[in-house]
């Protein structure tokens, strides 16, 4: 077992992920300690299986939420609990096996060396990636970099990231957004707005077929409407902050 970090926590929000979650969590525990899973009102039986894993592995802790509140809501719960335990940074990782557990130490080390920064994963796609998803995220990335005046967000939707805990928790507690699928892009934009430095690192991503245990909760129409509304309100926020962003760009042109 890896020695437990006192500052950096691996946090996995989980909602009806199917059996793929078990190998995802086991792999995470092989590469980092501690690992927390926040079960966000799952009804597929995986909560019990995860609790059994935690019983056997002291690196793992599982929290059960009674209702499904969304990815951002589960992460906020994890942030609040992590702060109480004295952690300063959180790496977020999806429960469906798409994110690379083997990259966790590299991302954590980058954060340890640059504690003031957020470490954003930039996905390296293979042939399993749906073309519609790959093309669609380019639109979100364009908007995110407009809203930050070219702030350097390598990918706005990839949720494999390390955040400084305190500023992210403060941002989430100040407003009611960032609670569902909109969490990842809005967190990146709002953290950039308050001056959190961005470091982009490549990370492989794999999409699994249903026959391989893959589960996706992405709903093309619903989630794109949510993202459109998110970028609309962020655009208004960008206009309000434009003088501040311009001044920051003039001070730090690179």
Residue pLDDT, tens place only, 34-70: 999 999 999 999 999 999 999 999 999 999 999 999 9
Q: How far apart, in whole angstroms, are the C-alpha atoms of residue 112 and residue 32? A: 14
Tokens of 134: 């790959």
Q: Which two tokens stand for residue 221?
A: 């129409």
Task: Return the number of other C-beta atoms located less than 10 Å from residue 128's C-beta.
Answer: 13
**pLDDT band for position 197 (cuts 50, 70, 90):** very high
Alpha-carbon span 213 to 207, nearest angstrom: 10
pLDDT, tens digit, 9 for 90 and up, residues 133-181: 677 788 889 999 999 999 999 999 999 999 999 999 999 999 888 988 8
Element holding 37 (H helix, E strand): strand 35-40
Top-tier CATH class for 8-251: alpha beta
Predicted pLDDT of residue 45: 92
- Residue 96: closest CA among 220, 203, 214, 181: 214
pLDDT of residue 181: 80
Give yes or no for a contact between 134 and 154, defined as CB atoms under 8 angstroms apart. no
Query: Other CB atoms closer than 10 Å to residue 252's CB: what's the count?
Result: 9
Q: What angle do CA 188, 190, 195 make, to 5 degrees?
A: 95
Domain residue extents for the chain: 8-251
pLDDT at 73 over 70: yes
Closest by CA position to 154, among listed 119, 190, 105: 119
Helices 46-56 and 20-31 sit at what angle, rounded to 10 degrees? 30
Cβ(13)–Cβ(74) under 8 Å? yes
> Is 168:77 a contact under the CB 8 Å cutoff?
no
What is the spatial distance between Cα 108 and Cα 204, in angstroms, rounded to a whole number? Answer: 16
79 vs 88: CA distance, rounded Å:
9
Average pLDDT, the chain: 90
Query: Cα separation of 187 and 203, whole Å?
Result: 19
Q: Which residues pair with 108 in a beta bridge?
A: none
In this prediction, residue 254 carries a pLDDT of 57
Token output for 226: 């949510």
Mean pLDDT of 113-138: 85
pLDDT of res. 135:
75
Q: In terms of C-beta density within 10 A (0-12 exposed, 13-18 middle, 19 or more buried), how is residue 159 classed?
A: buried
* pLDDT, tens digit (0-9, with 9 covering 90-100), for 203-230: 999 876 665 555 555 555 666 687 888 9
* pTM, entire model: 0.91
């Amino acid at each position: 077992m890896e020695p437990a970090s006192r500052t950096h926590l691996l946090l996995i929000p989980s909602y009806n992920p199917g059996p793929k979650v078990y190998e995802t969590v086991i792999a995470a525990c092989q590469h980092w300690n501690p690992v927390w899973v926040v079960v966000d009102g799952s009804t597929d039986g995986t909560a019990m299986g995860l609790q059994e894993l935690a019983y056997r592995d002291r690196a793992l802790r599982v929290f059960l939420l009674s209702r499904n509140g969304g990815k951002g809501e589960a992460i906020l719960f994890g942030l609040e609990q992590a702060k109480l335990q004295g952690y300063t940074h959180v790496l977020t990782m999806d429960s469906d096996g798409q994110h690379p557990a083997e990259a966790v130490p590299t991302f954590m080390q980058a954060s340890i060396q640059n504690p003031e920064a957020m470490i954003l994963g930039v996905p390296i796609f293979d042939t399993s990636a749906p073309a519609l998803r790959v093309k669609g995220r380019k639109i979100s990335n364009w908007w995110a970099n407009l809203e930050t005046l070219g702030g350097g967000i390598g990918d706005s939707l990839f949720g494999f990231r390390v955040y400084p805990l305190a500023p992210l928790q403060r941002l989430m507690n100040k407003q009611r957004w960032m609670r569902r699928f909109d969490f990842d892009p809005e967190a990146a934009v709002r953290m950039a707005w308050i001056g959190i430095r961005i470091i982009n690192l490549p990370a492989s991503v794999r999409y699994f077929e249903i026959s391989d245990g893959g589960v996706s909760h992405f709903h093309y129409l619903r989630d794109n409407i949510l993202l459109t509304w998110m970028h609309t309100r962020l655009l208004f926020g960008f206009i309000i902050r434009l003088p501040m962003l311009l001044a920051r760009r003039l001070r730090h042109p690179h």
